[in-house]
Amino acid sequence: MINTQTPQLLVVMTSFSKLEDAKLMARTLIEQHLVACVQINEGIHSMYRWEGKICEEREILFLAKTEASKWDQIHDLIKQAHPYDLPEILAFTPLQYDDDYSKWVQSEVNLKI
């Protein structure tokens, strides 16, 4: 069944220059029950302007699945622990998602530690 009610899920996105940093962040967020899972994609090429120069870098895309109530904690942890001076931290709330997947995510992030 597809959920079209008020969204509860959140996909948090950031990027890293090193796989080790992405894996450490993923493990930390999962261990603290802030996210249910993380997908790490090593195959992105980023272009951006930084301090007046156009830069090109290979980066790792990081997508974490959680529920909206965890946003503040996740944002603060990423901002504090991220190796970039100004990390990209974006969150998207899907309008539609599978109910069973949603229940699994919610059960993972709401486990009593």
pTM above 0.85, yes or no: yes
The predicted-structure confidence for 63-105, as pLDDT tens digits, reads as follows: 999 999 999 999 999 999 999 999 999 999 998 899 899 999 9
CATH number at residue 56: 3.30.70.120
- pLDDT tens, residue by residue, 19-65: 999 999 999 999 999 999 999 999 899 999 999 999 999 999 999 99
Q: Return d(Cα 56, Cα 46) in angstroms, integer.
A: 6
Query: For the chain, how many structural domains are there in total?
Result: 1
Q: Tell me if 88 is assigned to some domain.
A: yes
Domain that holds residue 33: 7-109
2 found inside a domain: no
